[in-house]
Amino acid sequence: MSNPYFDEYENLEVHELMLKDRPRQQAYCNAILANKDKFKDKVVLDVGAGTGILSAFCAKAGARLVYAVEASNVATKIALDLIQDNGLTSIVKVIHSRVEDFVLPVSSERVDIIVSEWMGFYLLHEGMLGSVLQARDKFLKEGGLMFPTECTIFVAPCSVPSLFDYWQNIDGIKMDSFATKLRAQKSSRPEIAQLDPNNLLHEGVVLHWMNLLDVDMAELEEIRFKDVVAAQKSGNHQGFCIWFEVLFPGDEAVTLSTSPFAPETHWKQCVVVLPEDSCETLEEKAPIAFEISMLRNSSDMRKYNLEVELLDPNIEEHPVPCSCHMTKCILTEAHLKTMNA
């Protein structure tokens, strides 16, 4: 049986983690408060309002009315206190409900803007995009805005020294056998970690892009991506790093990035560790061919199964131009340079 005291304590810790995530907080704060002209006198829906802080930002940006819809009982109480403490009760209406069950007080009413922090690990896993898109279809006016609007998932081959190099010498003791077992365990499921950008073997390519104003959840049942990239530096290819960025609307476009090159967020990155027999040391410009699939879990629609398969770069079609060191790509690149000279 759950203990209500500890349930509330755990919920507070989750909210504390998110509120202390400065890149997250600053992105939403800047995106909303830098667009006061878009929020002035508008009706806003905050999906999964949590503590209510995004709703408070919207009110301070000039919104006429904000519906802060939150399914968690604990979070709803926190949001009510926050809105009251900040003197915003006349603008922000905190509603304890799943957004799927929520009904606008006036049935014919629509909202001008939907705000939500719905993103999960590698954007989609354990996120609540489905709920946001349902809210969009039910409540958003034609020509309305979504905060954020655009989302991009990136992938890059990488080294994972924390699972390899670290275990070669622990205070003078080799732990190779332990490290092998640990890597076997880690390769069976993605790892959430903050990667040093120096461990990337490539700057990253776009795995998937979408616009929340028109994407349909059916399009996201399965995402499949295949590519060949050339290593931009020599190193040990031990896995793939996946991260995301979201872009907010407005004249001064604000981006929230979970890249290894950006300040750390609570999402960090998703690292898929390769099986040990698939790892290899690569030279600069070595081709890396791979396919990634993200399949929505049939038993839990908020989760995705992530799989990575290494392919043979001698067989797979390379992008044009391709900067890898294979002869056909060197000749193609030289030919293109000649044509453009």
Q: Which residues contact 247 (CB under 8 A, 6 or more apart)?
A: 148, 149, 150, 151, 152, 253, 254, 255
3-state SS of 255-281 is EEECCCCCCCCCCCEEEEECCHHHCEE
Q: For the residues 279-301, what does the mean pLDDT come to?
A: 95
CB burial of residue 54 (10 Å; 0-12, 13-18, 19+):
buried
> Is pLDDT at 24 greater than 90 in this prediction?
yes
Regarding whether 278 and 169 lie in a shared domain, the answer is yes
Nearest to 189 by CA among 106, 87, 121, 128: 121
3-12, 157-166, 303-312, 330-339: which is most confident: 303-312
Both 48 and 91 in one domain: the answer is yes
Residues 215 and 296 in one domain: yes
Q: Is the pLDDT of residue 21 over 60?
A: yes
Is 107 part of any domain?
A: yes
Listed in order, strand segments (DSSP E) in the chain are 43-47, 65-70, 92-96, 111-116, 140-147, 150-158, 191-193, 205-211, 222-230, 235-237, 239-247, 255-257, 269-273, 280-282, 287-296, 304-311
pLDDT surpasses 50 at 8: no
User: Which residues contact residue 197 at a Cβ distance below 8 angstroms, ignoring those fewer than 6 apart?
Assistant: 259, 260, 261
Q: Single out the catalytic residue among 70, 117, 191, 245.
A: 117
Where among 92, 117, 142 does a domain terminate?
A: 117
122 domain residue, yes or no: no
- Judgement on whether residues 305 and 180 belong to the same structural domain of the protein: yes
List the end-to-end C-alpha distance of the chain, in Å, as a whole number. 73
**Taking all residues of the chain, what is their mean pLDDT, rounded to a whole number?**
92
Is 6 a residue whose pLDDT tops 80?
no
Q: Which of 99-108, 233-242, 290-299 has the lowest mean pLDDT?
A: 99-108
Same domain, 278 and 185: yes
Question: Does 282 reside within a domain?
Answer: yes
Using CA atoms, how far residue 178 sits from 102, 166, 182, 281, 315, in Å, is 51, 12, 6, 22, 36
Rg of the chain over Cα atoms, rounded to whole angstroms, equals: 23
| Lowest mean pLDDT across 153-167, 240-254, 262-276, 280-294 | 153-167
Q: Say if residue 203 is in the same domain as residue 257.
A: yes
Does the annotation mark 284 as catalytic? Answer: no
The confidence band for 7, taking pLDDT boundaries of 50, 70 and 90, is: very low
189 and 301 assigned to the same domain: yes
Q: For 99-137, what is each residue's pLDDT tens digit?
A: 999 999 877 689 999 999 999 999 999 999 999 999 999
Residue 97 contacts by C-beta under 8 Å, 6 or more apart in sequence?
69, 70, 71
**Residue 192 domain flag:** yes
Read off the pLDDT band of 4 (50, 70, 90).
Answer: very low
Which of 117, 143, 168 finishes a domain?
Answer: 117
In a domain, 124, yes or no: no
Query: Where is the domain boundary, 117, 132, 163?
Result: 117
- Whichever domain contains 44, its CATH number is 3.40.50.150
**Residue 195 buriedness (CB in 10 A; 0-12 / 13-18 / 19+):** buried
Whether residue 174 is contained in a domain is answered as yes
The active-site residue, picked from 16, 100, 109, 126, is: 126
Domain holding 71, by residue range, is: 4-117
Q: 283 or 188, which is more confident?
A: 283
The predicted pLDDT at position 1 comes to 43
Same-domain status, 248 and 111: no
Shared domain check, 56 and 12? yes
Decide: 7 and 227 in contact? Cβ < 8 Å. Answer: no
Q: Are strands 140-147 and 269-273 parallel, antiparallel or unpaired?
A: unpaired
Asked if residue 112 belongs to a domain, the reply is yes
Work out the burial of residue 286: count CB atoms within 10 Å of its CB; fewer than 13 is exposed, 13-18 middle, 19 or more buried: buried
Quick check: is 117 catalytic?
Answer: yes
Same domain, 156 and 251: yes
More confident residue, 270 or 75: 270
User: Would you state the pLDDT for residue 163?
Assistant: 75
CATH number at residue 228: 2.70.160.11
Judged by DSSP in three states, 15 sits in: helix
pLDDT at residue 109, as a whole number = 85
Tens digits of residue pLDDT in 142-199: 999 999 999 999 999 999 988 777 888 889 888 888 878 887 777 778 899 999 999 9
How far apart are alpha carbons 240 and 277 in whole angstroms? 15
- The structural domain count of the chain equals 2
Separation CA 75–CA 162 (nearest Å): 36
Task: Evaluate whether 244 touches 122 at the Cβ level (below 8 Å).
Answer: yes
The answer to whether residues 98 and 212 belong to one domain is no
- Does residue 204 come out as left (phi exceeding 0), alpha (psi in the -120 to 50 range) or beta? left
Domain annotation covers residue 139? no
- 273 and 163 in one domain? yes
User: What pLDDT is recorded for position 341?
Assistant: 65
pTM, 2 dp: 0.92
Strands 43-47 and 65-70: parallel
Closest to 153 (Cα-Cα) out of 221, 246, 219, 232: 246
Tell me what percent of the residues of the chain surpass a pLDDT of 70.
Answer: 96
